[in-house]
Amino acid sequence: MTDGTTLNKPDLTAADGVSVTGVGGFGSPFFGTSAAAPAAAAVAALVLSAQTTLTPSEMHSVLTTTAVDIMGTGYDRDSGSGIVMAMPAINSLGVPGVANLALGTITGSENPGNGNGIIERGEGTSLVIGLNNLSGVKTATGITASLTSSTTGVYVTLPGTSTYVDMPVGSSGGNNLSPFTFTLDSAYPCGQSAEFTLTVNYTGGAARALNFMLPTGLLSITNTLGTTPPSLLGPRLRAHR
């Protein structure tokens, strides 16, 4: 046949012989194209997350021009353009690194309440909302956040805003410097979780809307059946005939 197009294949090579968790019954280290294909797909996903407007042809160009040439100079029949590499591919886009704030530990406590440790209808609650910058590559500065709720019967105390200390790359545990507070309506359904959105603005990255839920009206009970200490069983009586 003389019509059609001849294409060089494979385009790329990807790493195998990597350590895996064993999920799916795969051995560790994991070898072969079954390991290399998802490795290449993961790199492509990272590149696309850095620049979501890439076309398929642009993705192909990014991956092939930044691959590590492992055989003869240039394209090879067995290795294509070389081993696909995540960081060189992403860096080639010229996309600036950013901070990436995410939710950390969230703690709600009665304020005011009846002191039983349960957030219930008619009570107020103080919220400590932790943030982290574990996946960011830049320090987040000038952090401000506002709290809102879309749940009927949940009233966030205005202005519902707070600030946070600057968060360097890899930091966690940053809490709001002033408390967020809310009140549950006196007719709030018992056991219904309250839904919140924390909108975070900061220098070093794009604003983020972080959603979370807080349980209300529930008491955590641990089942200890069969573990009652003998001292609490009382004296035992034996019947005689």
CATH number at residue 203: 2.60.40.10
pLDDT number for residue 239: 43
* Domain stops at, among 91, 111, 145: 91
> How would you classify residue 59: left for phi > 0, otherwise alpha for psi between -120 and 50, otherwise beta?
alpha
* Residue 238 within any structural domain of the chain: no
* Residue 15 within any structural domain of the chain: no
In this structure, the answer to whether residues 154 and 198 fall within a common structural domain is yes
In this structure, the answer to whether residues 75 and 146 fall within a common structural domain is no
* Domain stops at, among 72, 91, 110: 91
Q: How far apart are CA 192 and CA 39, in angstroms?
A: 42
Residues of the chain falling short of pLDDT 70: 1-2, 218-241
3, 118, 216, 221 from 189: Cα distances, Å: 71, 14, 9, 20
pLDDT number for residue 95: 79
Q: What is the pLDDT of residues 194-218, one digit of tens each?
A: 999 999 999 998 899 999 999 998 6
Nearest to 13 by CA among 82, 59, 62: 82
Q: What is the pLDDT of residues 31-61, one digit of tens each?
A: 888 888 888 999 999 898 888 899 999 999 9
pLDDT number for residue 62: 93
pLDDT number for residue 5: 80
pLDDT number for residue 201: 97
Element (H, E) at 41: helix 33-50
Query: Residue 114: which domain range?
Result: 102-214
pLDDT number for residue 147: 98
* Residue 86 within any structural domain of the chain: yes
